[in-house]
Amino acid sequence: MHGNPMPDSYVYVTEEGVTRHYADGSVEALAWEDVVEVRVVSDAPDDVLYVLLDRDGEGCVVPRSATDATFLARLRYLPDFDLDRLAVAADSGHDGVVVVWRSPDPPSALPDLEYD
């Protein structure tokens, strides 16, 4: 059979939140109103993930390759979100995790997480 291979996940951005559906049937979803932290995770320039977390450290991992103008525009609604800071973190080639935004009323501590 010919054609494009099935992607490992699909990301949907709505006014209510962001959802990632994986090929194995699992789903990550987070309402925008529950987002308290945005992280950029990278281990190579082409392997950048945006991680949105709630107060319990649960969240949604969005590959940079799955983002579009809708996703970036929606991030701007987070209080004092800086798209330039996001772009610098994503384009820096820095290996590791960079917190690019925290809620003005964040939880006391969020866990360090492993990312796929």
Query: pLDDT per residue over 68-104, tens digit each?
Result: 899 999 999 999 999 999 999 998 877 889 999 999 8
3-class secondary-structure state, position 70: helix
Q: How far apart are CA 13 and CA 4, in angstroms?
A: 23
> Are 38 and 52 in contact, with CB atoms under 8 Å apart?
yes
What pLDDT, on a 0 to 100 scale, did the predictor assign at position 110?
Answer: 56
Phi, psi for 91 (deg, rounded to 5): -95, -5
Kindly report the pTM of this predicted structure. 0.82
pLDDT band at 1 (very low <50, low <70, confident <90, very high): very low
pLDDT band at 46 (very low <50, low <70, confident <90, very high): confident
Q: How far apart are CA 9 and CA 116, in angstroms?
A: 12
